[in-house]
C-alpha cells in the first residue's frame, strides 16, 4: 500500500512509546507490547532498561525476561 511504501522510504515516522509500568495498571488501563499494532509504528521506544555506561540490562526482570515469569 502507499502508506507502507512511504514508511519504508522513511518519509515520516510514527514513534510509539511503551512504558514498562503500563503492564501493571489495573483493568482496561493495562497495556502490553502485544497491544501495539506492528504496522502502525515505524519505531517503538520501550522504557525502561538499565545502562551502566558499558552494558544495557533488564530493569524489570519480571516484565523483560521470560525466565522470571
Q: Give the Å distances, CA to CA, from 30 to 10, 14, 22.
A: 31, 22, 6
Please state the pTM of the whole predicted model: 0.56
Exposed/middle/buried for 41, CB within 10 Å: 0-12, 13-18, 19+?
A: middle
What are the boundaries of each domain within the chain?
A: 15-64
Each residue's pLDDT expressed in tens, for the chain with a length of 69 residues: 555 555 566 678 889 888 878 888 999 999 888 888 878 888 888 887 788 888 888 777 777 777 765
Amino acid at each position: 500500500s502507499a502508506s507502507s511504501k512511504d514508511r519504508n522510504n522513511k518519509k515520516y515516522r510514527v514513534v510509539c512509546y511503551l512504558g514498562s509500568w503500563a503492564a501493571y495498571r489495573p483493568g482496561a488501563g493495562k497495556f502490553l507490547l502485544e497491544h501495539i499494532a506492528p504496522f502502525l509504528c515505524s519505531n517503538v521506544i520501550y522504557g525502561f532498561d538499565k545502562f551502566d555506561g558499558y552494558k544495557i540490562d533488564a530493569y524489570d526482570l519480571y516484565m523483560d525476561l521470560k525466565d522470571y515469569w
